[in-house]
Amino acid sequence: MSSPVTRPLRFLRRTLGPLVEPAVFDFWSRELGSTASRSRIQARVVAKRAESARAVTLELQPNRRFEGFLPGQHVNITVEIDGRRVTRSYSLTGVPREDDRLSLTVQQVEGGLVSGHLYTDCRVGDVVELGAAFGEMTLPEILPFKLLLLAAGSGVTPLMSLVRELAQRGMPVDTTLVYWARHRADLCFVPELKALAAREPKFNLRFALTGDAVTGTDELRGRPSRELLADVAPDLSERAVYACGPAGFVAEVELLARTQARSFQSEAFTPPVFAPVESQSEVTLMLAKSNRVVRVASGQPLLAALEAQGIKPPSGCRMGICNTCACGKRDGLTRNLKNGGENAEPESNLRICISSAQSDLTLDL
């Protein structure tokens, strides 16, 4: 349908659009200090504050490419460290706002690349790249059951977002949050949570410490156990449970609560560990674009291994120079056969002719 008005406009966009490449547009936008982009979600860090002895909260102002989120969801954030762009997931801790501003809370991980960067080096004014929000641990419109939120460490972040949403909705159901940390000083959002608990009779708050002695009435001691759960939620069978934390914690509380609770939803934060397989064993390759799964021997050049399975990805020199065979790697551990280096990070251009799988992999093929 082209009206007399849209036709010339469309003509202009068709003829002029290609003259300003997205990369050129984005370049000048950056030079002018803007985060505007033709296709990418860029966000500026507009505030940074300490949230605990080991965590900082960052507030981000994304550009118009960000399409919103639901409380409880996460985003991938990409930062540049020593010239390389690295991506990790972080949960959004706030509720959606009129001005689209986002907040996330990052806990420093010992020797952590991205958490260390965000905690120490990242400054107000820096620009980071975001992905679209993802995650299923969200609240339904209607809340048929009471809630039990179980958080451990930095796993509190998406649950904090849910608590804030509940507060905004006037705490429609009885909600209990149990929040584990080793030390009191590691706890995040304490003043806000305490104030909410004081204000909202339907919101119960317990901090569970594994490393410090208990002092306050809202504190508990010890790791998750049947007794502890019975104490904080004797009515567990009437509650929907949301749990978030390291993989070990999530597995533990799932075992304790899943069968009794009304429902059980969880998210684990610990990054997958790509256990290197023994030499000469088999690994599974997920070919994401063609939706295929193949088993190949580890340690073999991926290109040759795929070809042996009758799959013919584009290729050229077969010696790692022409880049024809390069494809995206979403996850998994690979080894560069030319220099022996191993890489567990996702990559946009893995040269499969000189790389071997050292664990199961997902490839953009």
Ligand X SMILES: Cc1cc2nc3c(=O)[nH]c(=O)nc-3n(C[C@H](O)[C@H](O)[C@H](O)COP(=O)(O)OP(=O)(O)OC[C@H]3O[C@@H](n4cnc5c(N)ncnc54)[C@H](O)[C@@H]3O)c2cc1C
Q: Which does 256 bind (CB under 5 to 8 A by kind): other proteins, ligand X, none?
A: none
Per-residue binding letters, 255-294, with ligand X (x by CB under 6 A): ------------x-xxx-----------------------
- For position 116 contacting ligand X by CB under 6 A, the verdict is yes
Going 211 to 212 to 214 to 219, the CA torsion angle's sign is negative
42 vs 52, beta carbon nearer other proteins: 42
For residue 299, what is the enclosing H or E element? none
Q: Which of 246, 299, 328, 346 binds ligand X (CB under 6 A)?
A: 246
- For position 54 contacting ligand X by CB under 6 A, the verdict is no
Q: Which does 330 bind (CB under 5 to 8 A by kind): ligand X, other proteins, none?
A: none
In order of 138, 139, 280, 323, 324, the CA distances from 310 in angstroms are 43, 46, 20, 21, 18
Other CB atoms closer than 10 Å to residue 334's CB: what's the count?
25
To other proteins, the closest distance from the beta carbon of 329 in angstroms equals 11
Q: Which one, of 274, 272, 293, lies nearest residue 284 by Cα?
A: 293
- For position 106 contacting ligand X by CB under 6 A, the verdict is yes
Chain CA centroid to CA 247, Å? 14
Q: Which does 270 bind (CB under 5 to 8 A by kind): other proteins, ligand X, none?
A: ligand X
For residue 155, what is the enclosing H or E element? none
106 vs 303, beta carbon nearer other proteins: 303
271 vs 316, beta carbon nearer other proteins: 316
Other CB atoms closer than 10 Å to residue 27's CB: what's the count?
11
Binding to ligand X (CB under 6 A) within 312-351 occurs at none
Q: Which does 111 bind (CB under 5 to 8 A by kind): ligand X, other proteins, none?
A: ligand X
With H, G, I as helix, E, B as strand and everything else as coil, classify residue 50. Answer: strand
Query: Which segments of the chain does DSSP mark as H helices, in order?
Result: 6-16, 22-31, 113-116, 156-168, 190-199, 226-232, 247-257, 302-308
Per-residue binding letters, 144-163, with ligand X (x by CB under 6 A): ----------x--x------
- For position 112 contacting ligand X by CB under 6 A, the verdict is yes
Strand intervals (E) in the chain: 41-50, 55-62, 74-81, 84-91, 102-107, 127-130, 146-152, 175-181, 203-209, 219-221, 239-245, 263-268, 282-287, 292-297, 327-331, 334-336, 342-343, 347-350, 355-357, 361-363
Contact residues for other proteins, defined by CB under 8 A: 15-16, 18-19, 21, 23-24, 26-28, 31, 40, 78, 80, 82-86, 299-301, 303-304, 316-324, 326, 337-339, 341, 347-349, 351, 353-354, 356
The conformation of residue 277, written as its DSSP 8-state character, comes to P
- For position 362 contacting ligand X by CB under 6 A, the verdict is no
To other proteins, the closest distance from the beta carbon of 307 in angstroms equals 10
List residues near ligand X by CB under 6 A: 74, 88-91, 104-107, 109, 111-116, 154, 157, 246, 267, 269-271
